[in-house]
Structures are given as C-alpha cells and as structure tokens.
Amino acid sequence: MRKAGFDDRVAVRLMRTFVGFILGSLIHQVSVAAAGGAGLDAADKATLVAGLEQAEYTNIRDLLPVLAEHDHNGDFEFGLELLIGAIEAIASGR
C-alpha cells in the first residue's frame, strides 16, 4: 500500500480492512459448513416468518430465499471488487 502511494495511516487501515474482510469471509464459510447447510423445516420456517412479520422486518422476510443461498466464492469476489473499487476511488481522490 505504501508503494502505491498511500501514507502510513491509510496503508495500515487498508490492510486491516482486507484482513478483516478475509477473516470474516472465512468464519462465515466455516460456520455455514459447520451447520451442515441444513434448512429449516416447514414449522420452523413458519415460526420465523411470523416473528419477522410481527417485528415488522418485512425486508428480511422477503429476502429469506436469497439469504438461504450460500455462494461463498461469488460473495467473496463481490466484496473484493468493492474493496478494490474503494481503494481506486481513494487513490484517484489524492
């Protein structure tokens, strides 16, 4: 990061951001694998949906099918592209 022209403070923050992103992605992937990818049975899903509706978390309720999907590589690549784009934006703003 320093070779790319970032000052010391920004270089450290960028590296910490990357490390945090990578570790968080790995922890998420391991936790999903440890859970066995098991979905909810119909009764548990109905209870969850009812609770989300009662709490007025309608966006979460509506997104349950997408939230149940796990594309670790796709999610990681998406996040990495966001980070790279942010670094490019910071660099072009100097």
Phi/psi for 81 (5° steps) reads -60, -40
What gap in Å lies between CA 20 and CA 26, rounded to an integer? 10
Per residue of the chain (94 residues), what is the pLDDT tens digit? Answer: 999 999 999 999 999 999 999 999 999 999 888 877 566 778 888 898 899 999 999 999 999 889 888 899 999 999 999 999 999 999 998 7
What gap in Å lies between CA 94 and CA 91, rounded to an integer? 6
Record the tokens describing residue 37, joined without a space. 């990818």
